[in-house]
Chains A and B, each alone.
Chain A
Amino acid sequence: MNEYVIEMKNIVKTFGEVQAVKHGEFTLRRGEIHSLIGENGAGKSTMMKLLYGMYPINSGSIVINGENITKLDPKIAISHGVGMVHQEFMLVSDLTVLENVILGFEPKKGIGIDYEKAKRDAQQYIDQYNMEIQLDKKVSQISVGEAQRVEIIKTLMRGVEIIILDEPTAVLTPQETRKLFEILGNLKAEGKSLVFISHKLNEVMEISDRITVMRQGEYMGTVDKDKTTPLDLTKRMIGREVFLNIDKTYSKIGSTILEVKDAWIPSPKETSKIRGISLHVNEGEIVGVAGIDGNGQSELVEAITGLRRVEKGNILLNGKDITNMSPRKIRDTGLAHIPEDRNTRGLNRGISIENNLIAVQIDESSFNKGIVLDTVAQDKYAAQLVKDFDIRPTDYKTLTSSLSGGNAQKVVVAREVSMKKKLLIASQPTRGVDIGAIEAIRNTLEKAKKDGAGVLLISAELEEIISLSDRIIVMHEGKITGELPAGEANENNLGLLMMGGMTDTSEAGKGAVTL
Chain B
Amino acid sequence: MDLFGNLGKIFNASLIYATFRASTPIIFAALCAAITQQANILNIGTEGIMLVGAFTAVAVSYTTGSWILGVLAAMMGGACIAMIMAVGHIKYNSEICAIGMGINLFAIAITKFLMNVIFHTNGTFSDPGIIAIPRVHIPFLDNIPVLDTLLNNWCFTEWFVIIFIIVLQYIFYKTVWGLRLRAVGQFPMAAQAAGINVNAMKYQAMLISGLIGGLAGAHLSLGYSTQFVENMTNSRGFMGVAAMYFGGANPVLTAVGCLLFGFADSVGARLQAYGFPAQFVLLMPYLVTVLVLAVSMAIKLNAAKKRESSLIVHGTR
A positions within 8 Å CB-CB of B? 74-75, 86, 90-95, 99-100, 102-106, 108, 111-113, 132, 143, 145, 173, 175-176, 179, 264-268, 270, 273-275, 311-312, 478
Contacts and interface: CB of A to CB of B under 8 A. Distances in A.
Contact of A95 (B175, B176, B186, B317): B186
A100 B182 CA distance: 11
Nearest to B309: A266
A267 B175 contact: no
Interface stretch (B5-13, B82-90, B189-197, B232-240): B189-197
B174 A112 contact: yes
B191 A92 contact: yes
B176 A90 contact: no
Nearest to B193: A90
A270 B193 CA distance: 25
B316 A145 contact: yes
Contacts of B305: 266
Size category of the binding interface on chain B:
20 to 34
Contacts of B196: 103-104
Q: Which of A145, A176, A311 has the most CB of B within 10 A?
A: A311
Given A103-B191, A143-B314, 18 more contacts: A75-B195, A90-B189, A90-B193, A92-B183, A95-B179, A95-B183, A95-B186, A99-B179, A103-B196, A104-B194, A112-B170, A143-B316, A173-B314, A175-B316, A266-B311, A267-B308, A273-B308, A478-B310
Interface of B: 170, 174-176, 179-180, 182-183, 186-187, 189-191, 193-196, 305, 307-311, 314, 316-317
Contacts of B189: 90
B39 to A, nearest CB: 13
23 contacts: A75-B195, A90-B189, A91-B187, A92-B183, A92-B186, A93-B187, A95-B179, A95-B182, A99-B183, A100-B190, A103-B180, A105-B194, A105-B195, A106-B176, A106-B179, A108-B176, A113-B174, A113-B175, A113-B179, A143-B316, A264-B310, A312-B310, A312-B311
A413 to B, nearest CB: 31
Contacts, number: 88
A179 B315 CA distance: 13
B182 to A, nearest CB: 6
B183 A103 contact: yes
A478 B307 CA distance: 16
A99 B307 CA distance: 23
Contacts of B191: 92, 103-104
- Those 8 A-B pairs whose CB atoms lie nearest each other, nearest first: A104-B194, A266-B308, A90-B190, A273-B310, A92-B187, A103-B194, A175-B316, A90-B193
B314 A270 contact: yes
B306 to A, nearest CB: 9
Nearest to A276: B310
Q: Which of B182, B183, B308, B317 has the most CB of A within 10 A?
A: B308
B172 to A, nearest CB: 12
Contacts of A112: 170, 174-175
Contacts of A105: 194-195
Contacts of B311: 264, 266, 311-312
Contacts of B174: 112-113
Contacts of A113: 174-176, 179
Nearest to B305: A266
A311 B310 contact: yes
Contacts of A312: 310-311
Contacts of A274: 310
B175 A111 contact: yes
B168 to A, nearest CB: 14
A311 B195 contact: no
A86 B193 CA distance: 10
B195 A104 contact: yes
Q: Which of A74, A103, A265, A273 has the most CB of B within 10 A?
A: A103
A176 B194 CA distance: 26
A311 B176 contact: no
Contact of B317 (A94, A103, A143): A143
B46 to A, nearest CB: 23
Contact of A74 (B170, B193, B317): B193
Contacts of A311: 309-311
